[in-house]
Amino acid sequence: MDKTAVYEELEKGFVSTFMEELLPGVLHNFANPLNGIMGRSKLLQRRLEEAIKKMEARLPGFAQDFGSEKIMKDVNIISEESDRFFMLFGDLSRKFMSLTRREPEKINLSQLIEAEMRFADFYLDFKHDLQKDIRLDMELPDIIGSTADYSLAITTFLISAKERTKNSLRKEFSITTDHDAEMISVTIKDSGEEVSQACQQLAGAAMKDLDLNLLPQRERLMGGAFFLFKYYGARVEIGYEKGDNKIILYLPILADR
C-alpha cells in the first residue's frame, strides 16, 4: 500500500464521521462564543446609550465633544453585523441538521425551500449571478417524508440550475409553490442550457424504470433527486419553453410510505 492509498483510506474514515459526529460538535462550539458576542454587543449598545445620556444631562455638550454619535454608530453596526452573522450561522446549522433527520415527519415544503434558498446563497455564484424570483405559498398543507431526502433533492435542483446558467447571457431563476385540495406543486425555472432529452424523458418514467446510466454525467445527480421525489409519490415534469427550463413537481399531500 502506497502513501496515496493510505491517505485516501484515512480521508474516508474522517469523512465518515463528519456529518453524524464532528459537525454537530463544530456547530455547538461555534454557537457558544457567538451567543456571547451577540449578548455582549446588545449589552454594550444599551449601556453606552445610557451612559451618554447621563453624561449629557450633567455636562451639556458632552455628547458632541466626546464624538458619541460616531461611537454609537460603530456600536450599532457591530450589533447589526453580529445579528447578521447569527442568521448566517443559523442557515448553515439548519441545513446540516436537516441532513440528519432521516425518519418520516411532517414537512411544510415552502418553509424547507425557503431555508434551502438561504443556504444556497453560500454558493457565491448562486447568490450574486442569478436574478431570482421566489414566490412561496407559506400556507402549504404538510407532506410526510424524510427531511434529509427532501433537503438533499431540493439542493440538487438548485445547484443544477446554477450550473446550467453559467454560460448563459441571461441568468434568471424562479421557484414557486402552490397547492389544491390534493396536490402540492413546485415549479422551478431557469434560463440555462436546455436539460437533455434523456433527462426530460426520464423525469416521466416510473421509479422502477429510473436508470441513471441513461443520463449524461452532469445530470446524474438530478436523476437521483427524481428518484427521491418519486419515492414519496411525486410526479415530475420537465420542459423547455421560451428559452427556459421548467421543472414541475406534483406531490401528494400527506403522502406516506
- The model's pLDDT over 54-112, given as tens digits with 9 standing for 90+, comes to 777 777 776 676 667 777 788 888 888 888 888 888 888 888 888 888 899 999 999 99
**Quick one: pLDDT at residue 87?**
86
d(CA 125, CA 134): 17
d(CA 161, CA 179): 23
Grid cell 385540495 — which residue? Answer: 181
| CATH number for the segment(s) 104-252 | 3.30.565.10
C-alpha cell at 257: 410510505
In the chain, where does DSSP find H-type helix? 3-17, 23-58, 62-66, 68-98, 109-120, 124-129, 147-164, 197-203, 220-231
Domain range summary for the chain, segments of one domain joined by +: 3-91, 104-252
**Quick one: pLDDT at residue 257?**
46
**Quick one: pLDDT at residue 26?**
76
- Spatial neighbors of 104 by CB under 8 A, at least 6 apart, are 144, 145, 146, 256, 257
d(CA 14, CA 157): 28
pLDDT along the chain (257 residues), means of 10: 67 70 75 80 81 77 71 82 86 85 91 93 90 92 91 92 90 93 92 87 76 80 87 89 91 68
Dihedral sign computed on CA atoms, order 142, 256, 100, 13 = negative
Other beta carbons within 10 angstroms of residue 30's beta carbon come to: 13
